[in-house]
Structure 1
Amino acid sequence: MAMTLAIVGTGVIGAGWAARALAHGLDVVAYDPGPDAEAKLRAAVDNAWGALERSGLAPGADRKRLSFAASVAEAVGKADFIQENAPEREELKQDLLAEIDAAAPAGAVIASSTSGLLPSRLQARMQRPGRLVVGHPFNPVYLLPLVEVLGGKATSPEAVETAKAFYASIGMRPLHVRVEIEGFVADRLMEALWREALWLVNDGVATTEEIDAAVVYGCGLRWSLMGTFLTFHLAGGEGGMRHMLHQFGPALKLPWTKLVAPELTEELIDRVADGCEHQAAGRPIKELERRRDDFLIEVMALAKKYWPEAEGLEGRI
């Protein structure tokens, strides 16, 4: 029997979920109240489909298995799993999740794609809060495997395990965030780099293009395999991380970073936006997305040969 995923909210993230699920042979029922939402969703899925074909479709994968509902209740009424993707406004999500909860089958897990809101607060208005989890993906959802999974104070352990199993079934790597914390794990790391990058632009140290080059041709290549800690472990030579910390630890007290974000003045916004437009060189977003997807498919095909699961070291990086 085919599994049905309900998608509520079909922006960039919701469309990415839809494309991934369809590529893995699921039925997808979607809802979004925005103007031309269905047409935009189908266009987004079409734009992603070429990349998904190259990365490999599961048996039964078919864009025709996508349908668009006229209401939240219609979308979730027969769903096996529900993914909410509304804008990052807490009250909006609380109301929407309560509406989903009232209409969804009793056994369906409800997941929110929020990138930082706490599930304990999101489930506050639900009649059955035990089935609410956060399932935070990364863009493009249809290619990147990481999904952060965490529950709130009322979430049942079974809901978390069900969510992890579902995400794994559609080719994702669930990361169970065991402590409820704003921003979870990955976004807190990215936010630190983002704030520092804004300061470098704000202070006239580097352009957006130069900062991106520092990541693309340097640390980014290492991070795609080893992440932060194992990279520094190697930096310590034969002594590993312990030697690295003793040798370079004192530098942590030096004023190398500014983790408080700079004021987003119009001047800074212009410099950042103009820099990005220069980097884009007139190429439209859809073209840049396809270029990114082509790259990700090739680099992930290489990385998978070296990821821990390929060596029987699941859970280790």
Structure 2
Amino acid sequence: MSQSKPIRRVAIIGTGVIGASWTSLFLAHGLDVVATDVAPGADAALKRFVATAWPALQRLGLAPGASQDRLSFTPVLTDAVKDADLVQENGPEKIEFKKTLYRQLDELLHPNVIIASSSSGLTMSEIQSACKMHPERCVIGHPFNPPHLVPLVEIVGGAKTSEATIQRAAEFYTSIGQRTVRVNKEMPGHVANRLQAALAREVYYLVAEGVVSAADVDTALCWGPGLRWGIMGNMMLNHLGGGKGGIEHFFQQFSGPMTAWWKTLGSPVLTADVQKKLIDSVHAEVGSRTVEELEAERDQVLLGLLEIRNKVAKPSQPKSKAAVA
């Protein structure tokens, strides 16, 4: 695969929450975006989402030439992907649907065009198995909701994905301000969702067992370790937790207590009764606030954190700008 062609035009397949957020991000970085979705009213809904997201993107800083006017929409897949340099696919998490779609894309697109999937759980090896011509250009580019604000992208290759594709995808996402993680082995749920699932398991257990309410467990997380996780990850925080002795002292000091806690961690079964207990506790925490109000609160705090982080540490630059210049 040649890495010389710049990525200037992106095709978005599927304009739900993730696809619309990707669209906003790409537009904010001065790219041309052609979106496609067969759902009724998808065009209008997408434009409303972008317009709503735009003030936050302006606050973070728009790239030269960034404009909502660089968005076009068509319900016809073949028209959407024509002349695209990269396709960001956000279709349903159904393997047969994706295999059919990727078989079609493989036949339509120039071999140089990357096909990136936002899939949160399906493996690229299974998805790309339908591609008979150029499976090497297919890769997972898994974002986190909402992608236009949360910069993490997990990059996972399949059995037939080329190293050149992985490198070019990483360079592209990095060039638009995202933080990429290279997942070296395919795992269900990739990495970050697995971390969230591990934490959610213990959260659900503690609430279901009556140890703590949903409100208090959320307070424990977001006003305790969550504040630190917004700055550094678990391994770096462990290193700091060891004081001057670093990670070595941390393990000497805490490996015993920590492994003892592991033995008491819960494995809740999400029966109807357990789910009702969790749901009732969450609604008690939510009170009269709407989902829209909670989303606005989340995004305002997130924007402030992003602005601070961007001042302190700039995203790492791609090794080569040839693919995105």
TM-score, normalization: structure 1? 0.91
Question: Which residue of structure 2 lines up, in the alignment, with residue 160 of structure 1?
Answer: 166
Q: 1:95-106 maps to which residues of 2 (within 5 A)? A: 95-106=100-111
Misfit runs of 4+, over 6 Å? 257-260
Gaps of 5+ in 2: 1-5, 320-325
Give per-residue Cα distances to partners, 1:186-205, cap 9 Å, x unaligned. Answer: 11111110111111121111
- Is the CA contact 1:28–1:66 (under 8 Å) kept in the aligned structure 2? yes
Question: Which residue of structure 1 lines up, in the alignment, with residue 322 of structure 2?
Answer: none
Q: 1:94-243 maps to which residues of 2 (within 5 A)? A: 94-127=99-132, 128-243=134-249
The AA in structure 2 aligned to 1:92 is F
What is the CA–CA distance in structure 2 between the aligned matches of 1:16 and 1:92, rounded to whole Å?
A: 22
- Is the CA contact 1:147–1:172 (under 8 Å) kept in the aligned structure 2? yes
Matched, 1:18 2:58: no
Q: 1:308 to 1:16 in 2, by over 3 A?
A: closer
Question: Which residue of structure 1 lines up, in the alignment, with residue 272 of structure 2?
Answer: 266
Question: Which residue of structure 2 lines up, in the alignment, with residue 93 of structure 1?
Answer: 98
Give per-residue Cα distances to partners, 1:255-283, cap 9 Å, x unaligned. Answer: 54676752222222223333333333333
Q: Which of 272, 279, 282 is the matching residue for 2:285?
A: 279
Matched, 1:46 2:51: yes
Gaps of 5+ in 1: none
Question: Which residue of structure 2 lines up, in the alignment, with residue 307 of structure 1?
Answer: 313
The AA in structure 2 aligned to 1:213 is T
Choose between structure 1 and 2 for higher RCO, CA contacts under 8 A separated by at least 6 residues.
2
Q: Residue 303 of structure 2 aligns to a residue in which SS?
A: helix
Q: Residue 225 of structure 1 aligns to a residue in which SS?
A: coil
- Is the CA contact 2:239–2:250 (under 8 Å) kept in the aligned structure 1? yes
The AA in structure 1 aligned to 2:293 is E
TM-score, normalization: structure 2? 0.89
Deviates more, 1:274-283 or 1:186-195: 274-283
Q: 1:202 to 1:70 in 2, by over 3 A?
A: same
Q: 1:177 to 1:29 in 2, by over 3 A?
A: same
| Shift, 1:175, TM fit | 1.5
Q: Residue 183 of structure 1 aligns to a residue in which SS?
A: coil
What is the CA–CA distance in structure 1 between the aligned matches of 2:31 and 2:232, rounded to whole Å?
A: 32
Give per-residue Cα distances to partners, 1:211-241, cap 9 Å, x unaligned. Answer: 1111111001111112101111222222221
What is the CA–CA distance in structure 2 between the aligned matches of 1:239 and 1:55, rounded to whole Å?
A: 38
Identity %: 43
What is the CA–CA distance in structure 2 between the aligned matches of 1:23 and 1:304, rounded to whole Å?
A: 16
Q: How many residues align?
A: 312
Q: 1:18 to 1:28 in 2, by over 3 A?
A: same
| Shift, 1:98, TM fit | 1.6
What is the CA–CA distance in structure 2 between the aligned matches of 1:2 and 1:124, rounded to whole Å?
A: 25
Q: Residue 244 of structure 2 aligns to a residue in which SS?
A: helix
What is the CA–CA distance in structure 1 between the aligned matches of 2:266 and 2:50, rounded to whole Å?
A: 38
Q: 1:192 to 1:2 in 2, by over 3 A?
A: closer
Q: 1:165 to 1:214 in 2, by over 3 A?
A: same
Q: Which of 41, 49, 71 is the matching residue for 2:76?
A: 71
Q: Residue 125 of structure 1 aligns to a residue in which SS?
A: coil
Question: Which residue of structure 2 lines up, in the alignment, with residue 251 of structure 1?
Answer: 257
- Is the CA contact 1:97–1:123 (under 8 Å) kept in the aligned structure 2? yes
Q: What's the Cα RMSD here?
A: 2.2
